[in-house]
Amino acid sequence: MKVEISQSQYEFRYMILLHVVVISLLLLNKASMGPLLTGVLISFACVGFVIWLRRYKRVSGKASVTGISMSKDRQWFLNYNDGSVSGPYTLKSSTQLPYVLFIYLNPSMHGRGQILMIPIDAVEKNNWRKLRAELRHPDSWEQ
């Protein structure tokens, strides 16, 4: 099984909306918190958004994960934008929400594990269903 992963527009819109709401609420409560505290909190929100935006843009860089695949012997591999592949990994666990999948992978040998967050709009609908079904399959889990 191989699933191509693209950049999510839902995640981008959600984070913009979240930061706009936070800044709006801070501006509405300016009188009760004081202008100095409000200014500091608004600057924290703006800096947080800039940091997130830089990470989001970096996702489309050379080190971004563009696909995930599983071999017949249940070994997982990550495909990167620069053509490299990392793995094999074993599936440690996963969390399935209606619009987001979180996949936790352990390295089969030495190295670091990987955590993937895959929004629903980052993969094709058919691949989304296949990936969710595969993650529910009991043979996918490491022994």
Strand ranges of the sheet holding 65-70, from the earlier edge strand across to the other edge: 2-4, 65-70, 76-80, 85-96, 100-107, 114-119
Which of these, 86, 93, 43, lies nearest to 63 by C-alpha position?
86
Contact, 126 vs 115, CB < 8 A? no
The set of residues, in sequence order, having a beta carbon less than 8 Å from that of 137 and lying 6+ positions away, is none
pLDDT for 33: 81
Contact, 135 vs 101, CB < 8 A? yes
pLDDT for 35: 84
pLDDT for 58: 62
CA-to-CA dists, residue 43 to 20, 25, 128, angstroms: 13, 14, 38
Q: What are the residue boundaries of the structural domains of the chain, listed by start?
A: 1-143
pLDDT for 124: 92
pLDDT for 139: 66
pLDDT for 60: 59
Query: For the chain, which ranges sit under pLDDT 50?
Result: 143
pLDDT for 93: 87
The H-or-E segment that residue 13 falls in is helix 9-28
